[in-house]
Amino acid sequence: MEKKDSKKSALGHLKTLWKSLPEVIKLLGTILSIAIALKVLFPASTVGIDSFDAGPEVIEPGELSVLTWEVSGATNITIEPDLGAVNSSGSFSVSPSETTTYKLMASGDGDEKIAMCTVTVEEEDMLISSFDASPDLVRPGESAVLNWHVSGVSNVTIEPGVGTVEPTGTLNVSPADTTSYKLTASNGDKEDTAYCTVTVKGDLPSTEENSSSMEENVMPQTESLPVQEEESSSDNLPSDNLPSEDLPSENLPSIVSFNADPDVLAKGESSNLIWSVSEATEVSIDPGIGTAGLSGSQRLFPEETTTYTLTATNGAGSVSATKVIYVEEPSMPASSEPVSTPEQISPTSGDVFDNSATQAALIWETVSGAANYTVEIDSYDSNTGQWLSESSGSDVVSGISGTSYSFEFPEGTDQYRWRVWSVSSEGTESGKSDWWTFSTQLSLSPETMDTPST
């Protein structure tokens, strides 16, 4: 009786105290009580990044890729670099000049989620396809045309006297003296060069003068060679039947240089063949090039070790030189290191979400050497008594760059299982983790929920 009287006395005291409070304080207390009740009945939804990807993921310089995203339960969403604050869902076209990783950050009510996706920009290989002059032998005051074609570069210059030019073009030049032009192509820290020479001849003789001069030069030589005097005349010199070593050496063409850079390369790589010849009326390079100028360069992509032969010819005869470009067969690539199976973190097997939850964040440990991850989410069909992977198929999400994935619960299903595996940059997949089961209500899982990993 005393306890009951004590309780009644305490309640009575509280009622009296409440009645004695000002009306404003009573109102504030009522509002606070309602707010607490609402928070309990309707908890704030958790932040979830449903998707964040780029398409296409690999582009060439100047092309576009479209970023798309879908976020729920967040009050603040940003994408960096360049985009800043964005809506909860949308798309945006980007054209990065280099490979760029975009970071999406979503936050709300003290919760924050992060997702990333990468747009890879494939750089075109720098290549000087050609650089030559036409003609490459002129008289003073005459012009020659420089021709060039370069790809995969950000800057091209020609010196002396020209400066910065477009990657492909032609230009008239009229040098006062014999001039060697240098083309320099660069892209970032990469650089390549090529050369061509325009020879300026003062008082070039006419064809008749040249023929007469040749006879004057040849005849004294034949007088000193009595055997040759009977067989040769000024009408048929130089004779095709004469050995090249017996022709007047001072009138033969001169091969100043004939090189390749590099001259040892791997299959699929290129080499720059560079040459310089003087006193020739015709120059040819075989195989694959044919007629060429007195000086120039040519980018080559030999598939096997190849011997190139340069032949320079004039009225006195021909001389030749060879250059071998060695192509090394690629060694067998080392087998890529296998990546490990990720360790799952949550939801753990047997976790139960209350009925107010609308999604779950699947989280796993980072795996060294993994380029991305694949998650498989399976739902239990109570009507058939089977998992969907055993009938119509489960949901498989690949290319996940981070170590989490937000899964939204579909309507009409309350039992799920998930597993994850990693993928290397070469596309090698790890073993799949075990199935971990969870549900959205307190109910017993079917026996099949214990099905081991396959």
| pTM recorded for the entire structure | 0.33
| Rounded CA separation 175/143 (Å) | 8
Q: DSSP for 95-144?
A: --SS-EEEEEEEEETTEEEEEEEEEEEPPPPPEEEEEEEESSEE-TT--E
Tell me the domains of the chain and their CATH numbers: 48-121 (2.60.40.2470), 124-205 (2.60.40.10), 250-331 (2.60.40.10), 344-450 (2.60.40.10)
Gyration radius (Cα) of the chain, Å? 41
Query: Cα–chain-centroid distance for residue 412?
Result: 44
Query: Euclidean distance between the first and final Cα of the chain, in Å?
Result: 68
Q: Backbone phi, then psi, for 221, in 5-degree steps?
A: -65, -40
Q: Report the range out of 43-52, 119-128, 402-411 with the highest average pLDDT.
A: 402-411
| Rounded CA separation 234/149 (Å) | 46
Query: Cα–chain-centroid distance for residue 332?
Result: 23
* Mean pLDDT for the stretch of residues 336-342: 82
18 Cβ partners below 8 Å, 6+ apart? Answer: 26
3-class DSSP state for residue 248? coil
Summary mean pLDDT of the chain: 78
pLDDT digits (tens, 9 = 90+) for 275-334: 888 888 888 999 888 888 888 888 888 888 999 999 999 888 888 888 899 888 776 555
| Antiparallel, parallel or unpaired: β 271-278 and 179-187 | unpaired
Starting from the edge strand earliest in sequence, which strands make up the sheet with 317-328, in order? 264-266, 317-328, 306-314, 282-286, 290-292
pLDDT digits (tens, 9 = 90+) for 376-396: 998 888 888 888 887 777 888
Nearest Cα to Cα of residue 234 among 250, 252, 251, 211: 211
